[in-house]
A and B are shown apart, each in its own frame.
Chain A
C-alpha cells in the first residue's frame, strides 16, 4: 500500500532544491502541546476583559447569592445534549529553512474535528468527521520568497492538504512571537475552522430539545456564523480549563470585589454560579461544579466553565441556564479517569470525539515515511 502522505515529498523535494534545509532530528519532531491550550485561548480571546462587572441572566441575580442549585438531570429524564464537537491537533517540526538571510521553521500539522451524535439510548455515533494536513511555512519578510511560495502553490495538491502561511494574522497566532508557536496557533485556528464546518452541519438539527456542546470557548466562532445563529443558537461551549485571573466586581466597593478562586471554592456540588457577561455582552458564561469536592484534590477541580453565545446581547433566562447546568451535572459520568488528567471536568462524549480524531491521525511512522530531506546539503544559496 503506498504511503498516503507521499505527496508531501513534492514539497520537501522542492524546498530542498531551492533553499538550504537543516532537518529536524530523525526527520520530524512532534511539537509538544502546551499543557492548557484552552486556558491560553481563553486568555488571548478575553485579553481585554479582565474585570467582570455585569450579569447576563434574568431575573437579575442578587450579588450576595451568586450560586444556584442544579441537581443532575439525566438523559433519561431530558435528553438535551445530542451533539458534541471536539477538535484535535498534532504539529511536527520538520526542519529549519534558510533562504538568503532569513531562517524559519518548516512545520507540518494534522488537524481534525469530529461531531458525535448521541442517540436517545445513550449510544454514540460519529455523525461527521473532518481532517486536514497542513504544511506550514512563513511568507513575506519572515520566511520564504514569493517565488518559492508561488512554486509551491503551483504543485497540484490533494484536497486533504493545505499549504498555509502562518504569518497571516488571526486572533490566536498574532499574539505569539516564537515562529514555531505561531505555526502551532495557526494550525489551531485551522482546526477551529473544521469545527465551524461541523457546527454548520448541525444547524438543521438543533432546537430547544437538541443542543450542541463544543469543547472549549464559543468565541472562536466566526462572526459570520454568529449572524446566522440569530437569537437562539442552541449551542454552548464547555471549557475544562479556563483563565484563573478574572476579577468579579459586583458593586463600587472593594468588599464587592471577588476573585475567581474564592468564587469557585465556595461553589457547592451540583450548583452553578450566576451567568456573567463578557465579549462585549455577546457571550454569557457561568461555572458549574459537576463533582463533589471531597473526592478531588483541589477546590478548582470538578468545575467547568460554560459559555453561551447571545448574538443579540439578550439576557438569558435563569431557568434555561439552570436546565442546561443540570443536564451538564448529569454528564459527569462516565469519566475518562486515567486517560485524561482533566477527567474530573471532562464530558465523556467530548473525550470520545477527541479519540475519534486522534485515532484517525496518521502515525509518526507513516509521516516519517514521506519526510525524507534529500540531503546532506552544503550548497550555498
Chain B
C-alpha cells in the first residue's frame, strides 16, 4: 500500500483506461479504473499514452466525475449480501468493486485525437504536462498571466496561465466572474487578476494601462494601497512564489480614491475614508447629458419620459432660450420651462408634452436629486468637489482609480457607473484635443454586481446599452471589462457571451442549469455546486476544458466583518 501511495505521489501509474461495448472511449472522452488506494478528484489532470505517426504521443484529460461500481446488479443484492439487512454483518469477502473516472480530453501533444485505447496506463500529469495539456506551452512567454494555481490530488501544482491577448485584446477580451463562493471572493479574485496583469506587464508597458475600480460594497477597495494587517502564512507565501508574483499592495502614489459627497458636504458618504481621496459630486451642467441613466429602472412604456429627457438634454446643450436661466437642479425643477413659479405647478403643456407627463418627470427627478438623494447632487459644486467625467478624461496609464459608490442610492450608482463608462468610451473614441499626456492604451474597468447595470431582459436600458457597447466593441478601443455578479443568468447574455474568460465560483444547481452555462459539460456543472470557498473554475479561450484553480488572499488590507 505504501508503494502504491508513493507511486501516486510521484505521479506514476494510477489506473488503466477502459472501453466497453456500452461505454466506449471517444475523441472527446475516455474512462479509466483506479488502482486500489489511489485518490483522484474531479479536475485532476491525467495523461495516457496514445498512438502517433512516429513513436507514441500523450493524450491529456480532465477528470470530471468518479463512480464506484461493484458487481452487484441491484441494491437488493447488497441488502441480501448483508444477510438480509443485518447491519453488523461483516462479509467474508468484500464485494468486488472499483472506482471509475470519467475524463474529458484536453489535448494531445501531437494533435492526435483518436479515441484512447483500452488498457492503457494512466498517470497524473506533472507540472509541465499540465501546461501542455491546457495549451499554455503555445502561449508566448511575455503573454502569460498567472490566473491561479491548479492543485492536484497528488500534491502537484501548476500555474494556470491565461493569455494576455485574450484578456486585454486584440484576440478577445473581458473577464466575467460569477458565483456565490463567499464573502469578497469574486472581488478578491478580480483584484488578484488585475494585480497579476500589472505585475506581469513589462515596465515600459505598465504606463499604458489604467485601471478603474468601482467599490460597491463596504470599504472593500478603499484600502488597496495599504498592506494587510496579518502576515502571510508560509503556505500563502509559497502560493505567491509559485505564481511568480509579489504580495504587495498597490503603490500609494498610483492610487486615486474618489468618494461621493455626503449630505452635509463636509464628509464623504463612504463606509471608510482612506488617507487621501477626492470627493465627487454632480451638478446639472455635468449631468445633463446623462439624465437618461438616472431613469434606467423607471418604467416608461410610451417613451414620454425619454422625450422629456431628450428635450432637456438638447435644450441645455444648445443653450436654447427656454433653458437660458437653467443652471442648477433647483432651476430645472422649480422654474421654467417645466414649472411655473407663479402658479406653483407644472406647466400645462410644453413642446407637445402634456402636464401630467411633466409632472411625473418632475416627481421622479425631485425624489432622485433632491428629496431622496444621498448628497452627490448639488446645485453648484465646491472647488474641491470633482466632476467624475472631467476626472476620467485626465486618467493616466499606470494609475489605479477607485470610485466608491457603496453608499449611494441604486439610481445614483447607475448614474456614476454610466458616467464612468461614457467618459472612458469618449476618451478612447474621441480624445480631447487639449490633452498633453498620452491616453492609456488599455483601460481595465472592474465592476461588481453587474446584474444591476446590465440585467438580462428583452429591452435594454440606456445603461445596459452602454455596457453592451463596451462588451461588444470595447476591445477594439482598449476598454476591458472585468465584471462580477452572483448569478450569470441575471446578466444580459450578450455581455457574458463576449467575455472570453469566465470564472465561476460555487453556484446553485438551478443556476448552473440555466442556458448561460451551456459551455460547461453536465459533469462539470455538478462539480460547480461543490466548489469550496476560494476555489474557482476558470474557463479561458485557450483551454479546451475549464480548470479548477485556487488563488492567494489579497496582499492589501480588507475590511473585517
Contacts and interface: CB of A to CB of B under 8 A. Distances in A.
Contacts of B90: 74, 76
A295 B76 CA distance: 13
Contact of A330 (B72, B80, B92): B92
Given A124-B96, A295-B84, A333 B77 contact: no
B202 interface: no
B90 to A, nearest CB: 6
B92 A122 contact: yes
A334 B94 contact: yes
B72 A338 contact: yes
Nearest to A339: B73
Interface string B86-108: 00011111111000000000000
B95 A334 contact: yes
Contacts of B71: 336, 339, 355
Interface in A314-357: 330-339, 343, 348-349, 352, 355
Contact of B77 (A118, A332, A335): A335
Contacts, number: 62
A349 B91 CA distance: 12
A118 B91 CA distance: 13
Contacts of B83: 332-333
Report which residue of B84, B90, B93 has the largest number of chain A beta carbons within 10 angstroms of its beta carbon. B93
Nearest to B83: A333
A123 interface: yes
A212 to B, nearest CB: 15
Residue from A75, A335, A339 with most neighbouring chain B CB atoms (10 Å): A335
A337 B92 contact: no
B96 A352 contact: yes
Interface residues of A, number: 23
Contact of A331 (B36, B77, B92, B96): B92
Chain B interface mostly: loop
B93 A331 contact: yes
A74 B92 contact: yes
B72 A333 contact: no
Contact of B94 (A76, A123, A295, A332): A123
B82 interface: yes
B74 A338 contact: yes
Contacts of B89: 333
B81 interface: yes
A335 B93 contact: no
A290 to B, nearest CB: 11
A330 B83 CA distance: 11
Interface in B80-136: 80-84, 89-96
Contacts of A332: 83
A348 B93 contact: yes
B119 to A, nearest CB: 12
B77 A338 contact: yes
A120 to B, nearest CB: 12
A355 B82 CA distance: 21
Interface string A226-260: 00000000000000000000000000000000000
Contacts of B82: 333-334
B73 A122 contact: no
Nearest to B96: A352
Interface of B: 36, 71-74, 76-78, 80-84, 89-96
The 8 closest A-B pairs by CB, nearest first: A334-B81, A338-B73, A337-B77, A333-B91, A334-B91, A337-B80, A334-B95, A75-B92
Interface of A: 74-76, 118, 122-124, 295, 330-339, 343, 348-349, 352, 355
6 contacts: A122-B94, A333-B92, A334-B94, A334-B95, A336-B77, A348-B95
Given A332-B83, A333-B91, A338-B72, 5 more contacts: A335-B81, A336-B77, A338-B74, A348-B92, A352-B96
